[in-house]
Amino acid sequence: MKSNSVVLKGVSKQFHRRGSGTFDALSDINLELGAGEIYALVGPSGCGKSTILNLVAGFDAPTSGEVLVDGKAVTKPGPDRGVVFQEHGLFPWLTAIENVQFGLDVRGVEGSAQKARRFLEAVGLTGFEKHYPRELSGGMRQRVSLARVLANGPSVILMDEPFGALDAQTRISMQELLMEIWAEFRPTILFITHDVDEAVFVADRIGVMAVKPGRIVEELTFSLRRPRTYHDLVAPEFSVLKEQILVRLRDSKKAAAVSA
């Protein structure tokens, strides 16, 4: 039986606006991620996809509803939920390997240097252990970010537009790297993006979101072969799925424009 690592039940989040009441960032979100699943949330900016990630990470608390990871309610950030930030998430005063060791060291894991080296190798950064983040390219920094999260062996990896700041070429190679990493470690991943191609490429399921209030308007499941490579992006099945998502996004945008 497949266990669910991440469960959101009837989650809403309101933010207080300066001066004029509250607004609904998220309304009645229900979401379940099975172990080893990659779930992508796509949607326009302001739809609350990053808010969902922050709630699961424990950076923020829901106004109502429940957020469970491995059956336990989320109350604060913890090593069972690794986050890959969009950028600048690495500690600039630590070398690549020290960044990966950080999580192991604060939790008192033995042999952290050796473990960290292994995860740097997994993301293809052997030889760059002693480099500081400023000496690495944007793509390499995100590799380190991924390695330090993997090293902690989390129940779920939360990725907040992790490749959004990278150039197109690097983005593609990072997406392919993520697929390799998934094949090796089988982590559960919640992936936030506004790039439909990216969502289609990485995910098993995709939640399409809309704004005002932020909600999931459609969930698409698709079970195409893994490992995927970039050739699959031009396969007919992908195009069909991509069209579905684009139509859904456009519809929700129109609806928002009418209601506004």
Partner 1 sequence: MALNGPAARMGAKILLSLIPLTALVIFWYCAMYFGSPYLRQFMPWPGQTAMVFFNLLLSGELIGHAMSSIGRVLLGLSLAAVVGIPLGILIGRFWTVRAAFGPTFDFLRPIPIAAWVPLSIMLFGIGEVPAISLVFLGCLYPIVLNARDGVTAVDPIHLRAAGMLGAGPMQILLRVVLPSALPSIITGLRQALSIGWWVVILAELLAVRSGLGYLMIHAQQLWEPATIISCMIAIGVIGIGMNYVTGVAEKYLLRWRATS
Residues that bind partner 1 (CB under 8 A): 57-59, 76-79, 81-83, 85, 88-95, 102-103, 106-107, 132-134, 148-149, 152
5 φ, ψ to 5°?
Answer: -80, -35
Tell me how many helices (H) and strands (E) the chain has: 7, 10
Question: 76: which strand partners?
Answer: none
Is residue 60 within 8 Å of residue 54, measured between CB atoms? yes
Q: Which is nearer to partner 1, 119 or 238 (CB)?
A: 119
Q: Which is nearer to partner 1, 60 or 204 (CB)?
A: 60
Closest to 5 measured CA to CA, from 86, 74, 103: 74
H/E run at residue 115: helix 112-122
Q: In what order do the strands lie in the sheet with 64-69?
A: 22-34, 4-16, 64-69, 72-73
- Of the pair 85, 222, the CB lying nearest partner 1 is at 85
First to last CA, the chain: 45
Asked if residue 232 lies in contact with residue 224, where contact means CB atoms within 8 angstroms, the answer is yes
Q: Which is nearer to partner 1, 152 or 193 (CB)?
A: 152
Give the shortest CB-116-to-partner 1 separation in angstroms.
Answer: 12
Measured from the CB atom, the residue of 48 and 103 that comes closer to partner 1 is 103
Minimal distance in Å, beta carbon 83 to partner 1? 5
- Amino acid identity, residue 206? I
Nearer to partner 1, 160 or 204 (CB): 160
What is the closest distance, in whole angstroms, from the C-beta atom of residue 39 to partner 1 in the complex? 18
CB of 74 to partner 1, least distance (A): 11
Smallest distance from the beta carbon of 86 to partner 1, in angstroms? Answer: 9
User: How many Cα atoms within 13 Å fall on the side-chain side of residue 124?
Assistant: 13
Backbone angles phi, psi at 89, to 5 degrees: -85, -15
Measured from the CB of residue 148, what is the shortest distance to partner 1 in angstroms? Answer: 7
